[in-house]
Structure 1
Amino acid sequence: MLSQNLKEQKEVLKLNEDWHFSLDPEDNMKWHQHTTEFPDNVINGTSSWEEQGYGMRSSHQPIGTWKKDREYEGVGWYMKEVNIPVAFDNHKMSLILRGVRWLTELWIDGKFVGKGESLVSSHPFNITSFVQAGKKHRFVIRVDNRMNYSLHESHIHSYHTATNWGGITGGIEIKAELPYSMKDVKVQSDTVQKSVTFDVMVDREGCKDLRNWSLVAKVNDSNGGLVATEYANLKVNDTEKNIVREQSITLQLGDNANLWSPQNPYLYEVELILMYKEEVYDRKYIKFGLRTIQTKGQHIMLNGKATFLAGYVDCCIFPQTGYPVWDVSHCRKQFKIVKSYGFNHVRLHGWNPPEPFWEAADQEGMLVQTELPHWSRQYIYRNQDANQETHAFLKRELKRMIENLHTHPSFVMLSMGNELIGAEGHPQLNELVKYARELDDTRLYTDNTGFGEIPAHDREGDYFTPTLNWHPPYNSEHSALPDTSLDYGEVTRLENKPLIAHEHGQFTMYVRPEEVKKYEGIIKPHWLESINETLSAKKMEGRVDAFIEATGAHLVRSLKETMEKARRTKGLSGIQLLDIRDFPGQGHATVGILDVFWDAKNIIDPVAFRQFNEQTVLLMRTNKRTYFNGEILSADLEVSHFGEEATSAVLSWKLEEENQPVEEGKEHITIVPGDGLLELLKVRVRIPNGVGRKLKLSASIIINEVISTNEWDFWTFPRHKLPENQERIWTNIDSLSTVLYGARNEETIGIDHLSFKEDKEVDLVITDQLSRDVLQYLVDGGSVWLMAQEGRQHDEIHTKYLPIFWNYVWFPEQNGTTMGMIIHPHPALSNIPHDGFSDWHWYHLVNNTIALGMDLIPQVKPIVEVIDNFNRAKHLAYAYEVKVGRGKLFVSSFNLANRQTMKRPEAHHLFFQLIDYMKSNQFQPETSLTIGELLGIFKVRSLLHR
């Protein structure tokens, strides 16, 4: 046996500082040869090559992502003379490289030790037979950060996220362990029996006496108090010689044991002791949580109870370093922030983070889905195998991930990668899922995140993550609507396993140039340079704050509805929002309520966000948000509830106008967790007469205190009579004949070949295209309302109501590429309820219409301004007015020439309000345009046709 002074010893020699270093751009150096003299350059093992001044300056000018001060992809060499401590004698020794990207080789005294490869774990090397305690040895490490397998993109090795960094960033150390010791430990919880089992790999290689070995487990609570102790003799077989085998030991933690969950991330600590007779030979301390994760039908069951995964996507974004940080406090801070917004779940997009992330997730109570590090095209075609080397590498990575994460309660789910398949699955991904279950059947697995249609058929997975807004029969343009009776039930009804909404949201807001001040490391937000140049050239810098405020409000309103639409869906188990933060690459996607530094943009506070992002969310179904006065407002209240049963809850609701109640009610309810979606109450209220105005419906569930509250806006409008002297209105738009009874609906205005004729019988012309006769009428002093239609302007942009998806540079062909609107104070809209920003009563007025280009007339102030995406930054509007000659021109592109739209209360009201305005003395445009300027904007016809 070993001498007494070696018992329990575990030694670590930190080697982070003062390595000699050399880049090898041509990949032809032989620095591992023992006699080679190494360069004097110095580097450490806790930050990247680029951070330490290595790499080349780049002339690349990225228009859609950030940029590092230096760039380098290739080989780098580390060398250090290391004194092996005498205390390491009779130990097994490993050199461990942490935070490496991503292939390594090691030589000691010129002898090749081995290779390391991983993007998901540390690189360990067994150096026991290569070094001698008390001696000095020359260590040479070769690191290669190039793409060595065909993984395509993944956020751990993409320039747009983790920046293709190079080096060793998490530290270098030699770890010495006794030859008889405990290796890997698995934790298996039983939340019904309140017990925990530890499966311990015990290494007694070379030990002559295999008997009389035992394992002791002591579990302490979070305060250090002893909870349970158990003792087990190690199993032995007389024929065994090289002994590395598993030993299980189970402890009962008592009926009052604390279960680990996001609401109560309670951690116990186990002390595992390896003993020979009465002597201690090894000791491990492991924190763990008593937690189970399973599925039951369409539900994800946490500790036996259905839970909703309120999740976001973490895209491996580290703006100060460009690579994952090794800092528990940093990770705990980010989890505290996201939990304040109601999130309990995070999906890691194509990467697996360092150990500090998992420690923080355990401590703060996050449910984590990790992923193999690829976004490859290897598995698109069902009948075509992936590249053999790539598939083998991913299988090795899968094993490393699971073995490293066994003890973490926050590790609950694992996906084989991002968006890997077509509509069908792939047999090799099915194989990986089955292999993962063999390694650890206490977690949930899926074949890929995001792609593949439902039903899954023979795809292997405990759950699936369809992209709801692109999965038939849905499309992204309908991801948020004023009609809140809709949900995603046509997808969830197709599958009896849990479904999670993939990369939900992705609405964007205006860029915030002031964020550049926060970048203090080697990365700079280069996308801002081209944007700032554009804003400066168009003299729009002074408008940025207003654009931020308006688009931020629009993003939040859109996001609230699409998240509530998901929560209204029976059979949906979670949402993975893309993203709570902005995304720095792929054109720069400003999708977050936080910036990349985890700082709030102040577009919504955590309390308001939790209204639609908690385990209990009040919901409202209605097929319309706008009403005529005197109609009955109809709204059905529901609750998405994944909390405890409540038998004495109270539901209160109130409909109010400017903080004054219109009607209110209260009802006792029972909330049973059931399938997570419960019908509560049908609200029916007759709307009083009045002017156009906004109403607010709010509701709360009270169980001793308010546990959930939410609110929704409605708008109500008066019915209008025909305007006075409607026969003095001339129009060529046939669809208006059903609205303007008695108006002159004719092909010509009565001007013959541009000859002068002052028509005393026409006060207002309403037309959908400029003609030479209308132009003559206007110049001679007439009033004209031009209802601009698509294709009839030289400069126009097709729009949709919702903000642009992701960004314009990455998806330029998408339908609708603007970011919302600003409704400026103006007498034309004095009786239109609005707060200056996009809201749901504008949806049918502007969705799938055009924005009017105003780049040629920047002197004209819009009445309803359209905010273009920040890449293109055009001057746009839905409405403006100008003088032309002696006449007055009002231009709009609202959907008011559409018969169906004109039956809606908001369109009816806006139409007659604008007619009243244009027939009043208030219609006095401030800015004049020449005929030439007008002809540069609008296409002119010789004659108008109905």
Structure 2
Amino acid sequence: MLTKISLEGEWSLQLDAAKQGAELPYTDVITLPGTTSHARKGPVNEHKLVGALTDEYLFEGYAWYAKEVVIPEELAGKTCFLYLERTRMTTVWVDGQEIGSRNSLNTAHVYELSGKLGAGSHTITVRVDNTDYPTKGGHLTSPDTQTNWNGITGRIELQFYGESYLNGIRLDPDLSARSVRITARLEGAAGVRLTISAASFNGASKHEVNERAFTVSPGDISLQYELGQGALLWSEAAPHLYNLSITLKDDKGEVADRHELIFGLREFKTDGDKFTINGEKTFLRGKHDGLIFPLTGYAPTDVEEWLRILGIAKSYGINHYRFHTCCPPEAAFTAADILGIYMQPELPFWGTITEETDEGHNQAEQDYLISEGYEILKAFGNHPSFVMMSLGNELWGSRPRIDAILKAYKEFDDRHLYTQGSNNHQFMPEVLEHDDFFSGVRFSRDRLFRGSYAMCDAPLGHVQTDSPSTMKDYDDAIVPPDFGKGGENGEQAGGTIQIQYGTEAKTVQAGDGSGEWIPQIPVVSHEIGQYATYPDYEEIEKYTGPLKAENFKIFRERLESKGLGHLAAKYFESSGQLAVACYKEELEAAFRSRRLAGFQLLDLQDFSGQGTALVGILDAFMDSKGMITPEEWRTFCNDAVLLARFPKYNYASGESFNAHVELSLFRSGAPESVSLQWKLAAAGGQTLAEGQAEAAVPAGANYIDICDLAVDLPAVERMTKVVFSLQLAGTDIRKNYDLWLYPSNVSADFSGVRMFEELTDEALALLEQGENVLLMPKPESLENAIEGFYCTDFWCYPMFRSISESMNRPVPVGTMGLLIDNTHPVFRDFLSEEYSTYPWWNIIENSKSIIMDGTAREWSPIVQTIDNFERNHKLGFLFECRVGAGNLLVCPLDADKVSGTPEGRQFLSSLAGYMKSADFKPQYEASAAELREMIR
């Protein structure tokens, strides 16, 4: 480009929802770049969304934008292009003459205006349509994420070129030759000279490359530019970049065209079941991104904002972004280049790929999607951070057709790795011939390599169902120990299967099953996590842009209508601590899995839509929720993670604590050996045991077995929390695990306590007479109660309740952990936090919580189960009251099932001790009728 005229600033505006055509004169103005919603144009949206943020000024239809521009004499007649960086479907006019239309959702709309702009004043009109897209658009147009905005964002400019100019510049790095191949199309006259120079930036090391000159002729050109053996390489650890300058001069020596490009010399490949960067193996620590920007409703196009966003993610150990059914603007790739983030854009599609002969085949949509892929590759393919690409999210349909599209992309641009899609064919996945890597959640119904699932996708994951330990990995799911000894399929090949399809349910053909198989390429676990937290209603005030948190307001009103509004902050904090623990358990399982190549987290940040899925440790603004620091998160999500394998968290006095300590290591510059320092210390600081172990680090090793520990745990008089800490000397690599020790001679002595499994007339009579009564109903006998479930809710209860109901499958339990009055005297002998911790796992899994809706605010359960924001039940697992002259303690627990564990015995003993103490003096008085109505 020789020069440009920016068109940013004030434009005339006319909104045309009915698509009747522009009427002069225009009646309004708007500042571009921007959107009609962000500018608060159009009528106020009266419809308030419950399952997503509400766009306060939602406009859909034609929006007409017009601007007068003055072309100076020296630019008149030059080759000229109108450049609209990011918009919807556009049609352009110059002085009333229609120029053409463009419809890319992912890349710039470029119109050639050569010969249309003489010296003087001209009117440029752009009509933007945000309806009737060639495809649904995935998260590019979804109200769940960045909204279906109308407008033009990013650069809006007229670009002028000389008589000769370069088009379609492509940079192909050649790591082995330390060079870059530059290909382009030269338009214009013959006899022009092209000069290339490069200088490194973005690192402590500097490198300049000598300028080289070439004589080139019109047409396709291809040049090899040597960087030399001192060339700096780009990676996550050292994202060295070059400013690559390309200048075109005519036969008079005058500049006709110039380009300044960012270039990174790198090679992102696969080696067996792992990815490599410049020959070194790497492990993808990814996050999902759906372009959620609640202050604007659209994705930023400035590098500084993307540096902030990606920098926050990197501070939590993230090195990879997967964009769900969308592609970010160029600024995101530039920021990722600078920071060292591996990027994976995705076609804007979430549906079924069909053959021409299939019923419902939509060739126009398929052609559009394929063309979008080529446009993405051409627009952003030069960025070193662009290393992977996916054909869409959870696709179904023709595997041969999907593979053919994949093959064509790879032949067109081999600089990236490709996958057929993210979690394609769900229960019946298959690696296709042209897959470079596989992204999914299972290889059959029971070969799971994720920690949590929705009830409609059952079986559930190990974080949701297994007794807590640190033993889990996914290696046996990826390569079963009995592989080859008999087939196992999740569904009958060729039949039908009912699946989650977006936010709904759908019956599809299962297709041809691949039988029993193992992947021979890297496997990335798709959308792991999804652990819900309760809303933080203080966040409502942060929505100062066009998007409003009307959903949060509705949730808050629901909670307040149940008389529970005063507990909102505690719900948020306690559910958040449980979610963090669940994420730690799942992430560590991924790092222990030696056959896994990486994961894509869903998510580090909250997801604004699909029922409102608050699954992040960061909110939708990428601000911390205060649940965990980046430093602590990186102890289980980083390029080097210490891991201990042990079978449980709860131990009786005198038991042996056995742990295998290992290191997941994908950090450049690994040492030849490591020195481990370990310690078992009581929470008060007293050291119970400590030691040191040395281990060699073989060259190129990524998994190092450091040592096995066997420690005889001391006798304790009281339940004691112990911290098991690990540290590699001289590094930031550390890990803490909480364990709990229990005295071995504990038994639950309920002698003298009147115990009942049902609220009988006898129990009520004893209460009237002044007796102390323990009511411990068998959980299965209760109707007005919610099943005990330790793990927090998956994704979002309203969405998956609806899907489960439509599929005629069990609905999720939908609870979000415990809120515990841990200062209550009932816990004198049972150490507890205010939130769920592992001493509670076995207890809660063998319990129910009674629905106490309608009871007085003053009757607050000692242990309350946190319900989701749709139901808002007041759920009591442990509560007390006065009845007549007596005192009642209620705990719907199967004592027989927990009494065989140290934590179960300790809990029951603490209940018994409390009931026989002078502290057992409930303050709230309940009537027999109230109890009969509630406990049934």
Q: Residue 203 of structure 1 is aligned with which of 186, 190, 197?
A: 186
State how 1:847-866 maps to structure 2 within 5 Å: 847=845, 849-858=847-856, 859-866=858-865
| Contact 2:77-2:117 within 8 A present in 1 as well | no
The answer as to 2:200 corresponding to 1:221 is yes
Aligned equivalent of 1:752: none
CA displacement at 1:550 relative to structure 2: 1.4
- 3-state SS of paired residue (1:411): coil
The answer as to 2:757 corresponding to 1:788 is no
Count the aligned residue pairs. 869
Q: Residue 452 of structure 1 is aligned with which of 425, 447, 450?
A: 425
Aligned equivalent of 1:935: 932
**In 1, Cα distance between the equivalents of 2:846 and 2:394?**
30
Q: Residue 924 of structure 1 is aligned with which of 912, 921, 934?
A: 921
**In 1, Cα distance between the equivalents of 2:905 and 2:441?**
37
Aligned equivalent of 2:244: 270
- 3-state SS of paired residue (1:350): coil
Moved more, 464-473 or 823-832: 464-473
User: Aligned residues: percent identity?
Assistant: 30
**In 2, Cα distance between the equivalents of 1:717 and 1:343?**
38
Gap change, CA 1:913 and 1:138, over 3 Å in 2:
closer
**In 1, Cα distance between the equivalents of 2:322 and 2:392?**
11
CA displacement at 1:783 relative to structure 2: 3.1
State how 1:117-128 maps to structure 2 within 5 Å: 117-128=103-114
Aligned equivalent of 1:185: 169
CA displacement at 1:293 relative to structure 2: 0.4
| Contact 2:612-2:796 within 8 A present in 1 as well | yes
CA displacement at 1:171 relative to structure 2: 3.9
CA displacement at 1:794 relative to structure 2: 5.1
| Contact 2:321-2:341 within 8 A present in 1 as well | yes
CA displacement at 1:455 relative to structure 2: 6.2
**In 2, Cα distance between the equivalents of 1:169 and 1:890?**
62
Aligned equivalent of 1:323: 298
Gap change, CA 1:380 and 1:876, over 3 Å in 2:
farther
Give 1:158's aligned amino acid.
S
Moved more, 20-29 or 605-614: 20-29
State how 1:399-548 maps to structure 2 within 5 Å: 399-421=374-396, 426-452=399-425, 456-458=430-432, 460-467=434-441, 472-474=446-448, 476=453, 477-480=460-463, 481=466, 482-493=468-479, 494-548=518-572
- 3-state SS of paired residue (2:853): coil
| Contact 1:507-1:804 within 8 A present in 2 as well | yes
| Contact 2:475-2:594 within 8 A present in 1 as well | yes
What whole-Å deviation, never above 9, does each CA across 1:124-148 have from its counterpart, x for those lacking one?
011114x142143333322110132
The answer as to 2:73 corresponding to 1:86 is yes
Q: Residue 169 of structure 1 is aligned with which of 153, 157, 168?
A: 153
Aligned equivalent of 2:497: none
The answer as to 2:34 corresponding to 1:47 is yes
CA displacement at 1:58 relative to structure 2: 2.4
**In 1, Cα distance between the equivalents of 2:389 and 2:536?**
35
Gap change, CA 1:839 and 1:226, over 3 Å in 2:
closer
| Contact 1:64-1:526 within 8 A present in 2 as well | no
| Contact 2:562-2:854 within 8 A present in 1 as well | no
**In 2, Cα distance between the equivalents of 1:380 and 1:909?**
63
CA displacement at 1:791 relative to structure 2: 5.2
Give 1:694's aligned amino acid.
K
The answer as to 2:739 corresponding to 1:714 is yes
What value does the CA root-mean-square deviation take over the aligned residues?
Answer: 2.5
- Structure 2 residue runs of 5 or longer lacking an equivalent are 454-459, 480-517, 805-810
**In 1, Cα distance between the equivalents of 2:343 and 2:692?**
39
What whole-Å deviation, never above 9, does each CA across 1:196-220 have from its counterpart, x for those lacking one?
2132313234x3xx4x544332121
Aligned equivalent of 1:303: 278
Aligned equivalent of 1:757: none
Q: Residue 614 of structure 1 is aligned with which of 617, 626, 638?
A: 638
**In 1, Cα distance between the equivalents of 2:734 and 2:354?**
45
Gap change, CA 1:419 and 1:234, over 3 Å in 2:
farther
State how 1:377-392 maps to structure 2 within 5 Å: 377-378=352-353, 386-392=361-367
**In 2, Cα distance between the equivalents of 1:634 and 1:353?**
47
State how 1:100-115 maps to structure 2 within 5 Å: 100=87, 102-115=88-101
Aligned equivalent of 2:882: 883
**In 2, Cα distance between the equivalents of 1:381 and 1:721?**
71
State how 1:22-101 maps to structure 2 within 5 Å: 22-29=14-21, 31=22, 37-100=24-87
Aligned equivalent of 1:822: 819
State how 1:356-755 maps to structure 2 within 5 Å: 356-378=331-353, 386-421=361-396, 426-452=399-425, 456-458=430-432, 460-467=434-441, 472-474=446-448, 476=453, 477-480=460-463, 481=466, 482-493=468-479, 494-643=518-667, 644-658=669-683, 659-672=685-698, 674=700, 676-690=702-716, 691-702=718-729, 705-720=730-745
- 3-state SS of paired residue (2:436): coil
- 3-state SS of paired residue (2:235): coil
| Contact 2:785-2:851 within 8 A present in 1 as well | yes
CA displacement at 1:387 relative to structure 2: 1.4
| Contact 1:20-1:38 within 8 A present in 2 as well | no
What whole-Å deviation, never above 9, does each CA across 1:34-67 have from its counterpart, x for those lacking one?
xx73324222331111223323322212112111
| Contact 1:499-1:574 within 8 A present in 2 as well | yes
- 3-state SS of paired residue (1:855): coil
Give 2:762's aligned amino acid.
D
CA displacement at 1:628 relative to structure 2: 1.3
- 3-state SS of paired residue (1:221): strand
The normalised TM-score by structure 1 is 0.88
The answer as to 2:164 corresponding to 1:142 is no
CA displacement at 1:186 relative to structure 2: 1.9
**In 2, Cα distance between the equivalents of 1:18 and 1:374?**
34
Gap change, CA 1:791 and 1:627, over 3 Å in 2:
closer
Give 1:679's aligned amino acid.
D
**In 2, Cα distance between the equivalents of 1:226 and 1:694?**
54
- 3-state SS of paired residue (1:510): coil
| Contact 2:171-2:181 within 8 A present in 1 as well | yes
Gap change, CA 1:894 and 1:677, over 3 Å in 2:
farther
The answer as to 2:891 corresponding to 1:906 is no
| Contact 2:164-2:250 within 8 A present in 1 as well | no
Give 2:164's aligned amino acid.
Y
| Contact 2:797-2:812 within 8 A present in 1 as well | no
**In 2, Cα distance between the equivalents of 1:417 and 1:295?**
21
**In 2, Cα distance between the equivalents of 1:576 and 1:810?**
21
CA displacement at 1:382 relative to structure 2: 12
Give 1:684's aligned amino acid.
A
What whole-Å deviation, never above 9, does each CA across 1:383-421 have from its counterpart, x for those lacking one?
668510111001111111011112211111111111222
CA displacement at 1:170 relative to structure 2: 2.1
Give 1:22's aligned amino acid.
Q
**In 1, Cα distance between the equivalents of 2:25 and 2:638?**
58
- Structure 1 residue runs of 5 or longer lacking an equivalent are 1-8, 237-242, 730-762, 940-946
Gap change, CA 1:676 and 1:937, over 3 Å in 2:
same
**In 1, Cα distance between the equivalents of 2:215 and 2:391?**
36
CA displacement at 1:97 relative to structure 2: 1.5
| Contact 1:105-1:141 within 8 A present in 2 as well | yes
| Contact 1:500-1:572 within 8 A present in 2 as well | yes
Aligned equivalent of 1:736: none
CA displacement at 1:654 relative to structure 2: 0.8
**In 2, Cα distance between the equivalents of 1:550 and 1:823?**
9
The normalised TM-score by structure 2 is 0.88
- 3-state SS of paired residue (2:733): strand
State how 1:150-169 maps to structure 2 within 5 Å: 150-151=135-136, 154-169=138-153
Aligned equivalent of 1:19: 11
| Contact 2:646-2:660 within 8 A present in 1 as well | yes
CA displacement at 1:225 relative to structure 2: 6.8
Gap change, CA 1:721 and 1:95, over 3 Å in 2:
closer
Q: Residue 289 of structure 1 is aligned with which of 259, 264, 277?
A: 264
Give 1:912's aligned amino acid.
S
